Structure 1
Amino acid sequence: MDVSTLEIETKKLIDRFHAQKPIRSWSMIISIFGDCVAPRGGELWMGNITEIMQMIGVSSGVVRTAMSRLASDGWLERTRIGRNSFYRLTNMGREAFDQATPRIYARGLTKGNGSWITAILSDGAGRAERRERLMDQGFGAIAPNVLIKPDNGQALPKSSEQIIYMCSSAPDDKAARLAKQAWNLTSLQQGYVEFIENYRGLGELLSEMDGNYSAIPTEVALVVRIMLIHDLRRLVLRDPELPQQALPDNWAGSVARELAANIYSKLKDRGEIWLDSNARNVEGNLPPLAPAFFERFQPL
């Protein structure tokens, strides 16, 4: 395969990112920290952040604005040494990444136990806010005061005067109807279909290389890897991770995850070479990868 063909596919990904309005540069920086920085100590020199974002076609001024927003929102904190700035994940940012990472890098469908966690909201002040917080945690609403979430083995939350939690079950046919009522699976399915369309050609190109990935420029591998995870992250964090029996037929999420896993496995090492050679934190070179990195996209 001609490497220039891969570079053309990479440019298509970047062009699609810039076609989104508005361009959420801060969200791309979150993807960079989650995929590349968090497993290597969680801190990166501002010059590296700017360089990576410029590879994606984002100017340094836009990057500075985005970094300021992420710092003010509590995701990142800055250390300044002379004229150099270094950004590190805050405790809040680290906790959010730790919760999201297993979902983003999962491979295959969740093995649910067929049960559901039901949350019943009491009436009164603050109900709308409590409902919104539950939906941010993956619950879907089947009534104004009743929300459900698949029980994938997590502990049942403790009930309070405002929210009562209980476990329930439903036959497979009813589970599918409940899921359709509680979540906009049509929109999510379309998102997965578009992801497959956008990355299928790239996956085929990499397969044609038959393991000879050393010809791929490290900066190209890094950019594609970041774009891949950025696009996947925006889908899977909206995904309620329903068990098979609650999903519609021909669910594209499984295909999208498998495609992402195959592409990522072929590019991750070349991307790490770029980070080894170029990325810096306060102490110099980034530390070695955390062991959890090697669990990404492993079969469930």
Structure 2
Amino acid sequence: MSILETEQQRLINRFHAQKPIRSWSMIISIFGDCVAPRGGELWMGNITEIMQMIGVNSGVVRTAMSRLASDGWLERTRIGRNSFYRLTKMGCEAFDQATPRIYARGPARGDANWITAILSEGEGRSERREYLTDQGFGILAPNVLIKPDIGQQLPRSSDKIVFMQSMAPPEKAVQLARQAWNLEGLQQGYREFIETYSDLQALLECEGHAPIAPETALIIRVILIHDLRRLVLRDPELPLQALPEKWAGSVARELAAGIYNTLRDHGEIWLDSNARTTAGALPPPEPAFFERFQPL
């Protein structure tokens, strides 16, 4: 077993040490990283094979795929005895929103501007609050949430949610951030990510390392993005003045970018050679795929 394969096994063991394992979430990472930029459809046999390389058996994979289909992420097509899964409109929209955040690099884009959401009283408020936190809002009060304004279009207000733009001075931004988000928990998560992947980065930077097998590159790449995704989608992208000192988020992103850019094309070789859709071979990636983790 090569040193890189040993690193792969260490990451797989780490994934299985997390309880619960959440295999369905790993499948989401596979679709987001490998399938969405290539048309959004993949043969069930390929999904099973990739997950088996991560140590997840076919029965667990079938259960996870059924859950993702019932939750509206995927839809199934059967041709003979073969099943193919395609991202639904909901799934595509979710990836379109998440992808720029996951594969970004550089400092946070926020400044002193904020978007405030005011929730109306009544039935459904908890569901609306959960929806907003999934979109990066932090909770100041049961009916007041905030999010950094990074130049996106202000959401449309309704009788259920009113959105407003505001500005806060630096000292107020720090206070708001600490009140609305668990930044220390996120900071610790980024530090653990750096600790987990620093040795791998050093290994890949060594000129004498063994050739990178396509399947090894693919699996490490998928696990890397899976771990990063779970952090950055919780990251509100606060302005720099609102972040704790020695913020680890930027370091973690640069670390991920270096590893991903080294492994990306090797992993694509496996997909080119093995991945199938209802129309045959998996189509090539869209141009935006090659812009991932590129410098600003």
For this structure pair, what is the TM-score category when the shorter chain's length is used for normalisation? over 0.9
Structure 1 match to 2:272 = 276
Structure 2 match to 1:8 = 6
1:1-300 residue pairs with structure 2 within 5 A?
4-209=2-207, 215-300=211-296
Tell whether the 8 Å contact from 1:33 to 1:42 is kept in structure 2 after alignment.
Answer: yes
CA–CA distance in structure 1, aligned partners of residues 46 and 254 of structure 2: 30
Tell whether the 8 Å contact from 1:104 to 1:233 is kept in structure 2 after alignment.
Answer: yes
Q: Which runs of 5+ in 2 are unaligned?
A: none
Once the two structures are TM-superposed, the CA of residue 147 in structure 1 deviates from its matched residue by 1.2
SS of residue matched to 1:78 = strand
Percent identical residues: 75
CA–CA distance in structure 1, aligned partners of residues 207 and 51 of structure 2: 27
Runs of 4+ with >6 A deviation: none
CA–CA distance in structure 1, aligned partners of residues 276 and 128 of structure 2: 41
TM-score by length of structure 2 reads 0.96
CA–CA distance in structure 1, aligned partners of residues 268 and 167 of structure 2: 45
Identify if the C-alpha distance between structure 1 residues 123 and 74 changes in structure 2 by more than 3 Å, giving closer, same or farther. closer
Tell whether the 8 Å contact from 2:115 to 2:148 is kept in structure 1 after alignment.
Answer: yes
SS of residue matched to 1:80 = strand
| Larger displacement relative to structure 2 (125-134 or 265-274) | 125-134
Which residue identity is paired with 2:78?
R
Which residue identity is paired with 2:44?
M
Q: Which runs of 5+ in 1 are unaligned?
A: none
Once the two structures are TM-superposed, the CA of residue 125 in structure 1 deviates from its matched residue by 3.2
Aligned positions, number: 296
Tell whether the 8 Å contact from 1:206 to 1:263 is kept in structure 2 after alignment.
Answer: yes
Tell whether the 8 Å contact from 2:218 to 2:270 is kept in structure 1 after alignment.
Answer: yes
SS of residue matched to 2:128 = helix
Once the two structures are TM-superposed, the CA of residue 205 in structure 1 deviates from its matched residue by 0.2
Tell whether the 8 Å contact from 1:113 to 1:153 is kept in structure 2 after alignment.
Answer: no
